[in-house]
Amino acid sequence: MDVFNGFLSVAVHVVVAVLLVFYLPISWICKLIVSVFVKPFTKEDVRGKVVLITGASSGIGEELAYQYATRGASLALVARREHALREVAKIALRKGSPDVLVIKADVSNQSECKRIIDETIAHFAQLNHLAVNAGILSSSLFEEISNISAFRQVMDVNFWGAIWTTYYAIPHLKNSHGNIIVTSSIAGHVPTARMSFYNASKAALIRFYETLRSELGSDVKITILTPGYVASEITKGKFLQKGGEIEVSKEVRDVQVGVLPVGYTDKFAKVVVDSACHGDEYVTWPSWYKPFHAVMFFAPEIVDWYSRTFYLTKPGVDSSNALSRRILQATGAEKFLYPYSIRSPDNKLKDIREIQKK
């Protein structure tokens, strides 16, 4: 057996290398042909179709609602904050959605996820797109966590909230040959320090839905989103802290985001809906994040060096003195790299008013 494994260790590397040499150029050419000559003529029309979005009260989920609304889709909007949901629903109706159902629910509860699907089907009698988007972000060094049990909610919301909702939605999505849009993160591919639980939850989403894609085949399309930082409550600094409390901390945000640019959520949402309607399997946005997949695969030590250098401080030194934040403060780059909407936690109402004017 040892001899056989030794033979395979050599043979498999050679065979795979040869296959890739021939396969990759052909694959790239085929993808280019499809993107130029096929995709422009095969875009799905969602007018009159039903889209369910979790985490729809703010951020990516809110903007997805507006994008689908402008295309004439009916919406089922899900979040824990009913008042904020109703504000989003009003704007979505004005933007062109023929009908909007508001569902107050907590996706970290399995029975609530079933109720979400049941209420959507009872109201619309169909489901075409499911956007599992609800999520929370944690930011703390693992060894500094003082309430470890509180961090279960990261997996409960980010991972299980998506999986439970998907489980109950699949029969209806198969009937409509629908689409699942999964909000993961570039952190699921390229993990950085201080976000161990968040990174794990997003990596789990990617692997789960890649597996589900192979199981469902052509019955249900799956579009996996791996964005960088985009304007949302998370990039305003809303994190699960080391003590188990969820708070808004500009200092924690500045450490975690640092001098990485934060994209506009409405632009990202437009890219997402366009991609979903074209049946794309992955969306990485902005596109300059894509090469980091290769860096993580071929040179993970570079990612480790980056994490330790920019996000960690020496023992006993306040984490707010991390190099990422010091560079941000020294350069004043926040006003160039961060959209106005996330520079102050109090800008949500202003954002809604700006959208209403459009």
Q: Are strands 74-79 and 129-132 parallel, antiparallel or unpaired?
A: unpaired
- pLDDT tens digits, residue range 78-112? 999 999 999 999 999 999 999 999 999 999 999 99
Q: Is residue 357 part of a domain?
A: no
Q: How far apart are CA 64 and CA 289, in angstroms?
A: 21
Domain enclosing residue 288, as ranges:
43-350
The tokens for 190 are 């390229």
pLDDT tens digit string along 35-80? 777 777 788 999 999 999 999 999 999 999 999 999 999 999 999 9
In DSSP notation, 15-81 reads HHHHHHHHHHHHHHHHHHHIIIIIGGG-----TT-EEEEESTTSHHHHHHHHHHHHTT-EEEEEES-
pLDDT in tens, 163-187: 999 999 999 999 999 999 999 999 9
321 alpha-carbon distance from chain centroid: 28
Question: 10 Å Cβ neighbour count for 168?
Answer: 19
Residue 9 is assigned to a structural domain of this protein: no
Asked if residue 126 is part of any domain, the answer here is: yes
Please name the residues in contact with 156: beta carbons below 8 A apart, sequence gap of 6 or more.
Answer: 108
Mean pLDDT is highest, among 1-10, 228-237, 267-276, 347-356, for 267-276
> Could you give the number of structural domains in the chain?
1
Q: Which entry of 198, 229, 311, 338 is annotated as an active-site residue?
A: 198
Beta bridge partners of residue 54, listed in sequence order? 78
In this structure, are residues 200 and 153 in contact, taking their beta carbons and an 8 Å threshold?
A: no
Looking at the domain assignment, is residue 175 inside a domain?
yes
Tell me the pLDDT band of 347, cut-offs 50, 70 and 90. very low
Kindly state the tokens that stand for 251: 């200092």
Q: With 60 as the cut, is the pLDDT of residue 349 above it? A: no
CA–CA separation, 286 vs 306, rounded Å? Answer: 20
Residue at 20 is within a domain: no
State the pTM of this model.
0.91
CATH of the domain at 69: 3.40.50.720
Which residue has tokens 């057996």? 1
Burial class (CB in 10 A: 0-12, 13-18, 19+), 315: exposed
Dump pLDDT digits (tens) for 274-317: 999 999 999 999 999 999 988 998 999 999 999 999 999 876 77
Residue 229 catalytic? no
Residue 292 lies in a domain: yes
Is residue 358 in some structural domain?
A: no
**Environment class of residue 332 by beta-carbon count within 10 Å: exposed (0-12), middle (13-18) or buried (19+)?**
exposed
Distance CA 137, CA 135 (A): 7
Residue 3 counted as domain residue: no
